[in-house]
Amino acid sequence: MKNSINNAFKIAKKENRPALISYTVCGDNTKDKSLQILNSISKDLDIAEWGIPHNCPTADGKDIQNSSYRALQNGIRLNDIFKLVKKFKKTKPSKPIILMGYYQVIFNYGERKFIQKCKASGVDGLIVVDLSFPDNKNFAKLCKKNSICFVQLIAPTTTIKRMREIIKSSHEMIYMISTISTTGSALKYSIKKIIKNYNVIKRIKPSKNVVIGFGITEKTISNLKSADGLVVGSAICREITRSLKGRQNPVTNVSKLVRKLKNKII
Amino acid sequence: MIKLKKKTPLIDQHDRFGFYGNKFGGNYCAETMRKPIEDLSKLFEKLRKDRKFLRKRDHYFKHYLGGETPFFKLENLTRHLGGAQIWCKDVSAIKGDAHKAYHATVNALICKESGKRYIAGDTGAGMFGKNLAMAAKKMNLKCKIFMGTKDISRQAPNVKFMRDAGAEVVPVDSGSKTLVDAVSECMRHYVSNCDNTHLAVGSAIGCNIFLKICAWSTSQISRELKKQLVKEFGEIPKLKLINVIGGGSSALGFWNEFIDFDKKHVELIGVEAKYAAPLSTNAKVAILHGAAQYCLIDKEGQIAETHSLSAGLDYPGSSPLHGLLKDSGRARYTNASDKEALAAFKLITKLEDIRPSLEPAHAWSECIRLAPKLKKSDVIVVNNCGKGYKDKKIYIEQLGYYPK
């Protein structure tokens, strides 16, 4: 299990394509539905990111906010999330799963207890949006000790000096934010500029797996194929919202969308 | 217990990670914001030592905001309550009608210095929004104000003022539709536009630099008060400084110059709204809007909803600096209900000529409770930090009238 995130990237590389990473919110719109969605799309995914909903998500755009509020409204709790991860890993033990959330929820639960629970349920990695470098040093160490990959983020505003420090303290995966924005808004930069930023990171440490996220949709995904991995989040959450509004089954619709995304990068 | 450092300004008592007392504050923000807030910190540290900038600030405070706000004794109220002498620091007399005028003006000045053309801020009661809109107009900046839709409707006079001053008021319809959501949305706007926008956080909350700028700006209140006290009493008498607490920006300004005094000499009393009272109800420390602070949360750690008639106090968190003052024992915190605040307004306006908004009405309520228990030699000063006209509709709904 220890290297399952690395393995996922290796497999994608062998197939000469970027790893496809989804982001959905655990519990959206219900506990069961969110697990059904993840199970159904996982065949087309290399890594699954599951959001831990928070009601003050200051870095998320409207789509992920909607998903989070739906999940919370339907009563999702942190312990449910661990149970659902366990269930998912039981049927798909080799599919890496990363939990992504805000520090408040972890802080409230207790860092150590949280990481132990992650480990026991089979979580492979963690992204904590508002716990940035250098404040995340201890937490990242604690993750490493427990064989959990702590994913550092790099933004377009990150200076080269800071980037070097972040990369140095990073684990096997780094998340590059494509553009100055919250999740899910349109790309502000040209593809060329995004790739240029990506290459800056890669040149510093070519062995790290760098994924690009924020604003990636069916339309833009094929242009960024050269990255190690691509994260699609808001576009999927938007599809869930659309399906629910149209009284359609989000499982089928999201699966179709993820299949389309996959087809665009192979 | 945390110990405060003597002779170090309160805002500077943090470590290199932005934490006060190893516990409050910090910079819990998205990576995208790190560079902009670091740049802002550097700029602020430079400007606060820059004589030219300080002169400019003082010039604006004096000629644009109208200079020193009055300090006077409330003779009728003192007689009526029959205990301590009651004095009023009437910050609401400032142009802009509330202490937020200082903070908004300084932010607009900093925005100018940074070379950014856009400024964005959050507001609950509309006082910060109104003052920011005014300052932005004065300094030729494009201004966006984020405000919950519930607050837009209950603080309509201020919203009209913001729009008339040329600001764009962005309605926030998520969550509880109040200040907490307005702050979140404003921060999102900043995350997306930090390359050309200056973020003016409306209270002494948020990442380290934002609360520093806020408390530094409002401290004008206590600089004036100290002089006014010496002028009236010949010295700093035995005092109780009572201030309402929402995020806590006015109290920090009102108390700043008195932190180093012994609490038996100058006692600091903060008054929260009863159902938005993290400091006086033993709430847990939680992370909200970029900082660790006393904050109301539910069992799962989600931010709790609050309830107050006063839009400016309807906020689940509190400034990290108030966490520091509470845990060091320097300040004590209590609360007042909507009913108590309304009763205070009724009594004060019957006896005196001031017309406090709902926010300082909470502070007056504590003053009314406390004064009769004290001696005639004791001095209470209340920060009357906001004008009541914005709450006229609410007062009429609740009390049946609004005094002339």
The answer to whether B30 faces chain A, any CB pair under 8 Å, is: yes
List, in order of start, the domains of chain B with CATH numbers: 29-60+99-215 (3.40.50.1100), 68-97+218-399 (3.40.50.1100)
- Cα-Cα-Cα-Cα torsion B347, B353, B358, B359, nearest 10 degrees, comes to -110
Contact yes or no for A157 and B187 at CB 8 A: no
pLDDT the model gives residue A1: 46
Between the CA of residue B268 and those of A5, B198, B384, B393, what are the distances in Å? Answer: 54, 33, 15, 32
A172 in catalytic set: no
DSSP, residue by residue, A211-236 = EEESS--TTTGGGGTTSSEEEE-HHH
ipTM of the complex: 0.96
Nearest CA in chain B to A106: B301
Q: For A8-57, how does the pLDDT look when each residue is reduced to its tens digit (9 = 90+)?
A: 999 999 999 999 999 999 999 999 999 999 999 999 999 999 999 999 99
Measured between CB atoms, which of A60, A105, A182 is closest to B301? A105
pLDDT at A261 over 70: yes
Q: Which domain holds residue A216?
A: 4-265
Residues of A in contact with B290 (CB under 8 A): 58, 130
CA of B303 to nearest chain A CA: how many angstroms apart?
A: 7
Residue ranges for chain B with pLDDT beneath 70: none
- When the pLDDT of each residue in chain A is averaged and rounded to a whole number, the result is 96
pLDDT the model gives residue A3: 72
Beta-carbon contacts of residue B121 (< 8 Å; ≥ 6 apart): B104, B107, B128, B129, B132, B143, B144, B145, B146, B186, B199, B200, B201, B202
**What total of structural domains would you count in chain A?**
1
Report phi then psi at B126, rounded to 5.
95, -5
Q: Are B186 and B178 in contact (CB under 8 A)?
A: no
% of chain A with per-residue pLDDT over 70: 99
The answer to whether A51 faces chain B, any CB pair under 8 Å, is: no
Contact yes or no for B303 and A55 at CB 8 A: yes
CA of A106 to nearest chain B CA: how many angstroms apart?
A: 8
Q: For A166-202, how does the pLDDT look when each residue is reduced to its tens digit (9 = 90+)?
A: 999 999 999 999 999 999 989 999 999 999 999 999 9
| Sequence letter at residue B298 | D
Classify the C-alpha dihedral B153-B158-B160-B165 as positive or negative. Answer: negative
The DSSP secondary-structure symbol of B372 reads G
CATH of the domain at A170: 3.20.20.70
d(CA B399, CA B348): 14
The answer to whether A61 faces chain B, any CB pair under 8 Å, is: yes
A60 in catalytic set: yes
Catalytic residue, chosen from A49, A63, A124, A228, is A49
Q: For A84-107, how does the pLDDT look when each residue is reduced to its tens digit (9 = 90+)?
A: 999 999 999 999 999 999 999 999
DSSP, residue by residue, B271-328 = EEETBB-TTTTTPEEEEETTEEEEE-B-TTSPBPP-B-S-TTT--S---HHHHHHHHT
A181: tokens are 């924005």
pLDDT at A2 over 60: no
